[in-house]
Structure formats: structure tokens, C-alpha cells
Amino acid sequence: MNGNKLRLAAIFSALIFIPCRSTFAQTSEHSKDSSAAARANERGEYTLAQKPYREAIELQENTFGVESPEVAISLNNLAVFYQDQSMYPEAEQTYGKALSILGRNSRQEASIAFTLNNLAALYLDEGLDSKAEPLYARALGIWEKLEKKDGINEAVTVSGLAGIYNSRNQDASAEPLYLRALALWIAQAKADGLEAADAFFHLGEIYRFRSNNKDAALMYARALSIWEKVAQAENPDAITAEAALGDIYRAEGKYAEAEPLLERALKAAEKKLGPNHLDVATSLNNLALLYYCESKYAAAEPLYKRALEIREKNLGPENPAVLQTMQIYAALLRQEGRKTEAQEVETQGGFKGVDRL
């Protein structure tokens, strides 16, 4: 869930607030301040970037009063800046000020929901799911009551709440929310974004856990299609999706479809984690099993051997995963007619040979 939390914070941080009213002069000066802050932020001059944000707030306080929605909006944007710099105490305090002002102004429900989303994302960044959950729930209640609907931002709220339930393995609560978020994005022609890919992926995980491989395969495929289009095909969730979809296809006898997925998953895992990581051993094992099913024993053997070496190095020779890999490796050697080598592996593992996986 951690990677997802960071991504959610970025999504919510991108929300733009539109003031309810403004004069030309105020808008012009505020625009200059905002542009100066953005430029300083891009240069990495974070301390300098705070000054224009604060000047914009002071200008709006003098123009509209300290309790105006415009001030609350600028406070929210300053809090977003703090959040992006991982200045969490400052961000939390500033979001709180914005919410306090907005709560005292009528017809500011949408701005309240935006700020609640941002604050919830902040808590997610800090691993405080229990504090984020009621904020998402409150924001969702606001979106549902608004006469003028905002499907995209409602979907962001729904998916954030779904992510919390998913992290707790509360699939019965997470599933309908992910489906609802996808329906909202589809209605807005936004079902090809990273937010949708995240929902598709987690639905795939839920369905696979239930052994609903048909629906899981559809969800994984949709997520992978999006990630490939936006050059995100090597993120951790994409690697997991490729491996899972490849395994589903292998189990269904769709070897031609499974092979490129499992091969890409292995390469991506090696690139990201290094050659001796336990997750790489899992990818090696999955691809080797496919090759075994295809009777490509010569291709499977070095993969099983590598998986065995990695697991033995990381887990020790007596670990059940190591012993199981030894059994499979020995079975493969026997399949190739190399009985002496198979017996040596079996002796090393302390068991008699098996003739099948």
C-alpha cells in the first residue's frame, strides 16, 4: 500500500481551487505570487517558494478578510506545497486552518471536500489510515449531496477509501468502491489514467484471491494496458500483474500468452531488485514451471537452478521453500533422463526423488 499512498498524495496535491469571487487587481497580484512560487518550487528553492504563497495569503486577507474562502483556498495550496516537501506538521496545521475557514462559509462544500481529500492523502503518506478514513467518508458524503456533480473528484475520494479497505484486506468493502470509482471515471472518459489502473490492479488481486481467475485476468490486462501506454510497465504493481496474469494463462494452458508476460516480469524484477532477491527467485520459478509445462526442459533447468541457489542463500538449506525447489529441480533432471544428478540433488535435500511436479 505504501507506493499507492504516495501516488494518491500526488493526485490530491494536483487539485486546483477556484475562488468564488475576485477583483482584477487581486487576481493579477495573486497570479504573480502563485507563478513565482511555482518557479521557485521547480528550481528546488523550497524556502524561497514559501514567500510568494504567504504574500498571496496576506493580499487576500487584506482584500477579502481573514475569513474569506479565497484565503482558505490559498491556505490549502500552501499546505499542498508543505505536503509535497514532506513538511507534514506544517501541512496538517495549514489544512486545518483552511477547513476552519471554509466551515464557516456557506456554499463551500466542494472546496471542503477538496481539502478533506488533501488532508486524507497527507495522513496516508504518514501511514495514518485510521485518521484518513473518516475524512474520505466525510468528503464522499459531500460529493453525493452536491447538486452539481463532480465525477472525477468523487472517484478520487472513492478510490482513496477503497485503498484503505484494501490495505486491511477488507475485500468486501473495497471491491464495490473500486467498481464505483471505475464507473465514475468511465462516465468522464477518464478510464485510461493511473488512478484507474490502480483500481483495475487491486480488483484483479481481489478476484484472484477468490480464485475468480476469469475476472482477475480481465482486470490485470486492463491495468497493464494503461501502464504500458504511460511508460509505467516496470512499476512494482505492473510486475506483480504480469506475473499473476502469466500464471493464470499458464494454468489455463494458454502458454503462448503466458510466456512473454512471465519473461517480462522476470526481467523487470531483476532490473529493479537485483539478481539475488527472493522475488526474483519466485519469477524464475514461475517461468521455469511454464517451460516445464511446454516440455522445454533445457530452458527450465537453469532457471530452477538459479531459483534454488537464491533461496538457499537467503533462507538456508533447511527452509521448506528450498526443499520444495530441490524436489522440483530433481524431478526436472529425471525428466531429462539425468537420474544420477537428480539423486545428488535429492540426497542433498534429504528425501527420495519424485517423478512429477
- Residue 320: which CATH number? 1.25.40.10
Domain contains 168: no
Question: Among 124, 139, 169, which residue terminates a domain?
Answer: 124
Question: Among 72, 95, 124, which residue terminates a domain?
Answer: 124
Domain containing residue 333: 262-357
Q: Cα torsion at 322, 323, 329, 334 (round to 10°)?
A: 170
Considering the entire predicted model, what is its pTM? Answer: 0.78
In Å, the largest CA–CA distance within the chain is 88
What is the tally of structural domains in the chain?
A: 2
Query: CA-based angle 151:153:156, to the nearest 5?
Result: 110
Domain contains 248: no
Question: Among 82, 103, 124, which residue terminates a domain?
Answer: 124
Domain contains 81: yes
Query: CA-based angle 19:23:29, to the nearest 5?
Result: 85
C-alpha cell at position 190 = 477518464
Domain contains 316: yes
| DSSP per position, 198-256 | HHHHHHHHHHHHTT-HHHHHHHHHHHHHHHHHTT-TTSHHHHHHHHHHHHHHHHTT-HH
Domain contains 61: yes
> What size, in residues, is the chain?
357
Domain contains 25: yes
Closest CA to 12 of 93, 75, 88, 77: 77
Q: How far apart are CA 13 and CA 115, in angstroms?
A: 10
- pLDDT, one tens digit for every residue, the chain (357 residues): 433 333 333 333 333 343 333 333 444 454 555 555 555 555 555 565 677 778 888 888 888 888 888 888 888 888 988 888 889 999 999 999 999 999 887 678 888 998 999 999 999 989 999 999 999 999 999 998 887 778 888 999 999 999 999 999 999 999 999 999 999 999 988 889 999 999 999 999 999 999 999 999 999 999 999 999 988 888 899 999 999 999 999 999 999 999 999 999 999 999 989 999 999 999 999 999 999 999 999 999 999 999 999 999 999 888 888 888 888 888 888 888 888 888 888 787 665 444 444
Domain contains 202: no
